[in-house]
Amino acid sequence: MKKLLSTLLALAMVLALCPVLVSAEGTYAESPVLTEKVNAGELPPVEERLPKNPQVLVNPEVGIYGGTWRQATPQGTYNHARSHMTGYLDHNGLIYDRDNQTIIPTWLESYEHNDEYTVFTFKLREGLKWSDGEPVTMEDVEFWWNDILKNTEYTPSDTYYADCTLDKVDDWTFTFTFETPKPLYLTFWAKDGNSRFVYPAHYLKQFHPSYLTEEEMTAKLAEESFDDWKNLMQDKTNVQTNKDLPVLGPWVMTTDPATTNTYLYERNPYYCCVDQEGNQLPYIDNAVITIVESTDLMNMKIIAGEVDVQAAGLSESFSNYPLFAQYADEMNYRLTTVEHNEPGALNFHFNITSVDPVKAPYLGNVEFRRALSLGMDRPTIISTFYAIGPFVSEIAQSSFLENSPYYDEEWTKQYTQFDPETANKMLDEMGMTQYDDNGWRMTADGQEFDLVILVPNYDVQWGEVAEMVASEWRENLKLNINASIVEPSLWGERTEGNEFDITALTGSGDNGFLAVTTGSVDTWTGYASYNWGNRCMPGIFIKSGDHAFEPTPEMARLKELGAQIVVETDDAARDAEIKEVIQIWKDGLYAIGIGRRLPGIVVIKNYVHNADTFGAGWDFGANGSSRGDGYWFDADAQ
For 490-526, the pLDDT digits (tens) are 999 999 999 999 999 987 666 788 888 888 899 999 9
pLDDT computed for residue 508 by the predictor: 66
* Phi, psi angle pair for 637, to nearest 5°: -65, -45
Average model confidence (pLDDT) across the chain: 91
Sorted by sequence, the CB contacts under 8 Å of residue 338 that are 6+ apart come out as 311, 315, 599, 600, 601, 602, 614, 615, 616, 617, 623, 624
DSSP designation for 24: T
Residue 336 pairs with which residues in a beta bridge?
602
Can you say how many angstroms the Cα of residue 392 is from the centroid of all Cα atoms in its chain? 25
pLDDT band at 19 (very low <50, low <70, confident <90, very high): very low
Where do the domains of the chain lie, and which CATH numbers do they carry? 347-593 (3.10.105.10)
Q: Which residue has the higher pLDDT, 1 or 632?
A: 632
Least confident of 23-27, 234-238, 306-310, 371-375: 23-27
pLDDT computed for residue 625 by the predictor: 59
- Return the ∠ at Cα 393 (arms to 389 and 394), rounded to 5°: 135
Judged against a pLDDT cut of 50, whether residue 5 lies above it is answered with: no
pLDDT computed for residue 15 by the predictor: 31
**Which percentage of the chain shows pLDDT scores above 90?**
76
Between CA 275 and CA 630 the distance in angstroms is 8
* Model confidence pLDDT, tens digit, residues 531-590: 877 789 999 999 899 999 999 999 999 999 999 999 999 999 999 999 999 999 999 999
| pLDDT average, residue stretch 85-106 | 86
Burial of 586 (0-12, 13-18, 19+ CB in 10 A): middle
Burial of 420 (0-12, 13-18, 19+ CB in 10 A): middle
Q: Which residue has the higher pLDDT, 605 or 101?
A: 605
**Which percentage of the chain shows pLDDT scores above 70?**
93
Burial of 26 (0-12, 13-18, 19+ CB in 10 A): middle
pLDDT band at 98 (very low <50, low <70, confident <90, very high): confident
- Return the ∠ at Cα 391 (arms to 390 and 396), rounded to 5°: 135
Burial of 616 (0-12, 13-18, 19+ CB in 10 A): buried
If phi > 0 it is left, if psi is from -120 to 50 it is alpha, else beta; for residue 446 that is left
Between CA 482 and CA 468 the distance in angstroms is 9
Judged against a pLDDT cut of 50, whether residue 23 lies above it is answered with: no
pLDDT computed for residue 97 by the predictor: 83
| pLDDT average, residue stretch 217-239 | 97
Judged against a pLDDT cut of 50, whether residue 36 lies above it is answered with: yes
For the chain, the first-to-last Cα distance in angstroms comes to 53
Sorted by sequence, the CB contacts under 8 Å of residue 123 that are 6+ apart come out as 108, 109, 110, 111, 172, 173
pLDDT band at 134 (very low <50, low <70, confident <90, very high): very high
Between CA 384 and CA 380 the distance in angstroms is 6
pLDDT computed for residue 310 by the predictor: 92
pLDDT computed for residue 615 by the predictor: 60
pLDDT band at 193 (very low <50, low <70, confident <90, very high): confident
pLDDT computed for residue 26 by the predictor: 59
Between CA 310 and CA 328 the distance in angstroms is 14
